[in-house]
Chain A
């Protein structure tokens, strides 16, 4: 059974700092990995998707890396801003019977960026 772990559970940083969020998964047979942002009481916003054949993806100040063999992904946020405060969730899409279906999520990292 796929298990996804995110460390740390909570993180507080001053504005302008660069930071790294970590995600690990137990089964390397994945189709892709997505990073999401969730604001309190809201749905999920997709930030980046990395296919299993890719090593990293970038969008603006965000960079996500994937090391499938070691079961790890990181989300790097450059020059953090108070508006980045949210919970960040990592999810893996298992490769199953030739077609990926459900996402398995970690519990998230709650990020607070202090002005």
Chain B
């Protein structure tokens, strides 16, 4: 499968714990995006990488959130001190230059 992959697919954690998600983009895509989607809403942009450089961050990305893309390949999104309001689907997408974005299956986070 050469599409965007995300791991894990589901994560249940207790409030206050740290969690980390991984995204593997389509191999030749130099752009990688993270979005968050809550129930009944469209995805909301969190952050964007071009190669290894993080070029844009949303106001939604509080200081508890950090994202990296070492060597311009896979990316990780870490949430520290999780809160119940962090419960959502976290979606990763990749694209080649500013063309069509391809999405992964998402990681569903539940904070209890």
Point out residues on A near B: beta carbons under 8 Å: 4, 31-32, 34, 36, 41-46, 49, 89, 91, 93, 99-108
Contact = CB atoms under 8 A, between A and B. Distances in A.
B33 A43 contact: no
A29 to B, nearest CB: 14
Contacts of A108: 42
A34 B98 CA distance: 12
Contacts of B55: 101
Nearest to A31: B98
Given A4-B42, A107-B40, A100 B98 contact: yes
Contacts of A105: 42-44
20 contacts: A31-B98, A32-B100, A34-B101, A36-B103, A42-B105, A42-B106, A43-B6, A43-B91, A45-B103, A46-B102, A91-B42, A100-B98, A101-B48, A101-B55, A102-B48, A102-B56, A102-B58, A103-B33, A103-B93, A104-B45
Interface of B: 4, 6, 31, 33, 35, 40-45, 48, 55-56, 58, 91, 93, 98-106, 108
B106 A101 contact: no
B105 A102 contact: no
B108 A44 contact: no
A22 to B, nearest CB: 15
Contacts of B4: 43
Nearest to A100: B98
A89 B41 CA distance: 10
Contacts of B99: 32, 49
A11 to B, nearest CB: 15
A105 B45 CA distance: 9
Contacts of A31: 98
B25 to A, nearest CB: 13
A1 B56 CA distance: 16
Given A32-B100, A100-B98, 18 more contacts: A4-B42, A34-B101, A41-B108, A43-B103, A44-B91, A44-B93, A44-B103, A45-B103, A46-B101, A89-B43, A93-B101, A101-B31, A101-B98, A102-B48, A103-B35, A103-B43, A103-B45, A107-B40
